[in-house]
Amino acid sequence: MALKYSRQRESIIANLMHRTDHPTADMVYADIRKTFPNISLGTVYRNLALLSDLGEIRKFSGEGGADRYDWRTEPHNHFTCRKCGCVKDMDGQQISRLKEQADAQFDGRIDDCSVMFYGLCADCLAEEAGA
């Protein structure tokens, strides 16, 4: 599907590519409004949904139910802090072995996978230790 060029959409992609915090739509909207003050939150949501549907970005549910977005589309793991809610990438080759094991046990086809780890991030652990 050929998309009509959109400066707003390109700005959303550029915003995601320069972030490592896996933002929510509201976070992207707050940043994009600096460049496009008249953009609506609905436009940001629609473009994020479209980009996700096209496989240009990844969408996953974060802690608290808010969808998070990631410009990295290759399989990789994520960590979510149960205290502050931050989401971080966890790189490693183990995910491909996990997918291979799942493929061997599943009567069908697995095209993709994503693993989410939960716990406390280093900042929250340090805060907890100092309390």
pLDDT in tens, 4-53: 888 999 999 999 999 989 999 999 999 999 999 999 999 999 999 999 99
Domain ranges of the chain: 1-73, 74-131
pTM attached to this predicted model: 0.79
**Spatial CA neighbour of 89 closest among 109, 56, 115:** 115
**Spatial CA neighbour of 28 closest among 14, 40, 18, 15:** 15
Tell me if 1-73 shares its fold with 74-131: no
Task: Note the pLDDT tens digit of each residue in 46-105.
Answer: 999 999 999 999 998 866 678 999 999 887 888 889 998 888 888 766 677 777 888 899
Give me the residues paired with residue 90 across strands.
Answer: 77
Q: Which fold has domain 1-73?
A: Arc Repressor Mutant, subunit A (1.10.10)
Q: Which CATH architecture group holds 74-131?
A: 2-Layer Sandwich (3.30)
CA separation for the pair 61, 102 (Å, rounded):
22
* Cβ 25 vs Cβ 19: under 8 Å: no
